[in-house]
């Protein structure tokens, strides 16, 4: 079998062989990705996604109320975070005109999008006016979503931050 560009037989032409090889590689890679997608499907962070979807208008009203409050929140996170390393996580929450707010409760929730069984909650303590602190340790590496819920009576502020935990 002589492989040459001048050869008129299709399976002996290098261009045809290259195209066939490319298509086979493409299909093999897709088959592997499909297998991996079914083997480890992603988990939902919100277990009540259906109810929250039905309450979409109510959630939008809460977001509008939150904007009207004029509260702001700022995460103060460690520069590097590793698995099973206890570190301090701070949140600065201010009202209008950068005034400190005395809140009833501040809770930080850590969600792992790929594994809902690893989610946990930590209560935050007020150390200085407007500054709330908690110590946390992540037991798995990867991407985590931090959600802080700050409440004062009926008023509520929710702030989020995505962090990456190194092994």
Please state the φ and ψ torsions of residue 38, each to the nearest 5 degrees.
-80, -30
pLDDT score, position 48: 66
pLDDT score, position 134: 95
Task: Say how far apart CA 24 and CA 18 lie, in whole Å.
Answer: 10
The CATH class of the 49-165 domain is mainly beta
**Rg of the Cα atoms in the chain:** 26
DSSP state of 51: H
pLDDT score, position 6: 67
**Is the confidence at residue 8, as pLDDT, over 90?**
no
More confident residue, 1 or 133: 133
pLDDT score, position 121: 93
pLDDT score, position 41: 57
Q: Strands of 9-167 (E only): list them.
A: 72-76, 87-94, 105-111, 120-123, 125-128, 131-136, 142-152, 155-165
What's the pTM? 0.66
Per-residue pLDDT of 86-132, as tens digits, reads 999 999 999 888 888 889 999 999 988 777 788 899 999 999 988 99
Tell me the average pLDDT across 5-23.
81
pLDDT score, position 47: 66
Q: Is 152 within 8 Å of 70 (Cβ atoms)?
A: no
Per-residue pLDDT of 27-75, as tens digits, reads 999 999 998 887 775 555 566 667 666 777 777 888 788 888 888 899 9
Of 4-8, 95-99, 155-159, the range with the lowest mean pLDDT is 4-8
């Amino acid at each position: 079998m002589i492989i040459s560009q001048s050869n008129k037989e299709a399976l002996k032409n290098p261009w045809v062989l290259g195209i066939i090889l490319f298509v086979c590689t493409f299909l093999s890679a897709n088959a592997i990705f499909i297998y991996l997608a079914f083997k480890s499907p992603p988990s939902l962070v919100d277990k009540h996604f259906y109810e929250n979807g039905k309450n979409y208008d109510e959630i939008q009203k809460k977001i509008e109320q939150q904007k009207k409050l004029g509260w702001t929140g700022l995460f103060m996170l460690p520069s590097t975070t590793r698995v099973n390393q206890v570190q301090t996580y701070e949140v600065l929450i201010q009202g209008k005109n950068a005034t400190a707010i005395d809140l009833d409760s501040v809770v930080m929730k850590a969600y792992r999008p790929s594994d809902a069984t690893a989610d946990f909650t930590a209560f935050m303590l007020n150390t200085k006016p407007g500054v709330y602190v908690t110590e946390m340790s992540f037991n798995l590496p990867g991407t985590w979503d931090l959600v802080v819920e700050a409440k004062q009576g009926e008023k509520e502020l929710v702030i989020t931050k995505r962090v990456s935990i190194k092994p």
